[in-house]
Structure 1
Amino acid sequence: MNKLFNMLVMSAMLLVSGFAIANGDAETTQSQAHMWQAIQEGQQGVTTSQSTFHDQLINVNDERLIPARETYLAPGIMLAVFGMIAAFAVFIAVNGISKLHGGFSGKMVYRWSKFDVFIHWLGAIPCLLLILTGIALLAGRFFIQPYLGDGAWSSLVYLSKEIHDVMAIPFIIGWAVMVVLWAKNQMPAKYDLGWILVVGGYINFGPFKGKHPDAGFANAGEKMWFWTFAFVGALVVASGVVLLFPNLIEPSRSLSMLAVVVHGAGAIIIAAFSIIHIFMATVMSEGGMECMVSGYCDENWAKQHHNVWYDEIKADGTLKYKD
Structure 2
Amino acid sequence: MFRLLIAFLLTIGTVQIAVAQTTDDGAATTDERTSTGGATTLEDILARQRGEQVDKSYRSDNTGQGNAEGLLGQLGTRGVASDSDVYRALRYGSADVTVSSKGPAASVLIQDGGMWWLNFRTGPLRENGTYVLGGMLIILLLFFLIRGKIRIDGEKTGRTVTRFGGFERFGHWLFAGSFLVLGLTGLLTLYGRDFLIPIFGKEGFATIAQGCKWLHNNLAWSFMLGLVIVTVNWIAHNIPNRTDLRWLAAGGGLFTKGSHPPAKKFNAGQKIIFWACIVLGVSISLSGLSLLFPFEMPLFAKTFSAANATGLPQLLGLNLPVQMSPQEEMQYAQVWHVMVAYIFIAIIVAHIYLGSVGMEGAFDAMGTGEVEEQWAREHHSLWLEEVQEKEASKATASPAE
Q: Name 1:214's counterpart in structure 2.
A: 262
Q: Name 2:186's counterpart in structure 1.
A: 134
RMSD in angstroms over aligned alpha carbons?
2.8
Amino acid at match of 2:86: M
Q: Name 1:67's counterpart in structure 2.
A: 119
1:259 aligns with 2:259: no
Count of aligned pairs: 293
1:233-252 pair list within 5 angstroms: 233-246=281-294, 249=297, 252=326
Q: Name 1:39's counterpart in structure 2.
A: 90
Amino acid at match of 2:381: N
1:198 aligns with 2:235: no
The Cα of 1:248 is off from its aligned counterpart by 5.9
The Cα of 1:273 is off from its aligned counterpart by 0.8
Matched position secondary structure for 1:284: coil
What is the CA–CA distance in structure 2 between the aligned matches of 1:57 and 1:319, rounded to whole Å?
A: 72
1:51-99 Cα deviation digits (max 9, x unpaired)? 2122222224464333221123323444444543343233212211111
Q: Name 2:176's counterpart in structure 1.
A: 124
TM-score (norm 1): 0.81
Moved more, 32-41 or 210-219: 32-41
Amino acid at match of 2:119: P
Q: Name 1:293's counterpart in structure 2.
A: 367
> Does the aligned pair in 2 maintain the 1:40–1:58 contact within 8 Å?
yes
> Does the aligned pair in 2 maintain the 1:138–1:264 contact within 8 Å?
no
Matched position secondary structure for 2:355: helix
Q: Name 2:231's counterpart in structure 1.
A: 179
The Cα of 1:37 is off from its aligned counterpart by 4.0
1:100-119 pair list within 5 angstroms: 100-119=152-171
Counterpart among 225, 229, 232 of residue 273 in structure 2: 225
Q: Name 2:384's counterpart in structure 1.
A: 310
What is the percentage of aligned positions where both structures have the same residue?
29
Structure 2: give runs of 5+ residues left out of the alignment. Answer: 1-67, 299-324, 396-401
1:142-161 Cα deviation digits (max 9, x unpaired)? 45445552233223212222
What is the CA–CA distance in structure 2 between the aligned matches of 1:102 and 1:119, rounded to whole Å?
A: 31
What is the CA–CA distance in structure 2 between the aligned matches of 1:151 and 1:52, rounded to whole Å?
A: 32
Matched position secondary structure for 1:56: coil
Q: Name 1:16's counterpart in structure 2.
A: none
Q: Which has the higher contact order (CA 8 A, sep 6+)?
A: 1
> Does the aligned pair in 2 maintain the 1:242–1:249 contact within 8 Å?
yes
What is the CA–CA distance in structure 1 between the aligned matches of 2:332 and 2:359, rounded to whole Å?
A: 39
What is the CA–CA distance in structure 2 between the aligned matches of 1:176 and 1:45, rounded to whole Å?
A: 45
Q: Name 1:160's counterpart in structure 2.
A: 212
> Does the aligned pair in 2 maintain the 1:73–1:138 contact within 8 Å?
no
What is the CA–CA distance in structure 2 between the aligned matches of 1:144 and 1:67, rounded to whole Å?
A: 21
Alpha-carbon spacing, 1:143–1:188, altered in 2? closer, same or farther (3 Å): farther
Alpha-carbon spacing, 1:54–1:109, altered in 2? closer, same or farther (3 Å): same
Amino acid at match of 1:190: R
What is the CA–CA distance in structure 2 between the aligned matches of 1:58 and 1:151, rounded to whole Å?
A: 26
Amino acid at match of 2:277: F
1:90-139 Cα deviation digits (max 9, x unpaired)? 32122111111114321111221111111111111111111111111122
Matched position secondary structure for 2:177: helix
Q: Name 1:10's counterpart in structure 2.
A: none
1:11-50 pair list within 5 angstroms: 27=71, 31-43=82-94, 44-50=96-102
Alpha-carbon spacing, 1:166–1:82, altered in 2? closer, same or farther (3 Å): farther
Counterpart among 133, 145, 151 of residue 93 in structure 1: 145
Matched position secondary structure for 1:277: helix
> Does the aligned pair in 1 maintain the 2:99–2:106 contact within 8 Å?
yes
What is the CA–CA distance in structure 1 between the aligned matches of 2:132 and 2:212, rounded to whole Å?
A: 19
> Does the aligned pair in 1 maintain the 2:294–2:329 contact within 8 Å?
no
Structure 1: give runs of 5+ residues left out of the alignment. Answer: 1-24
Q: Name 2:136's counterpart in structure 1.
A: 84
Amino acid at match of 1:213: P
What is the CA–CA distance in structure 2 between the aligned matches of 1:137 and 1:202, rounded to whole Å?
A: 36
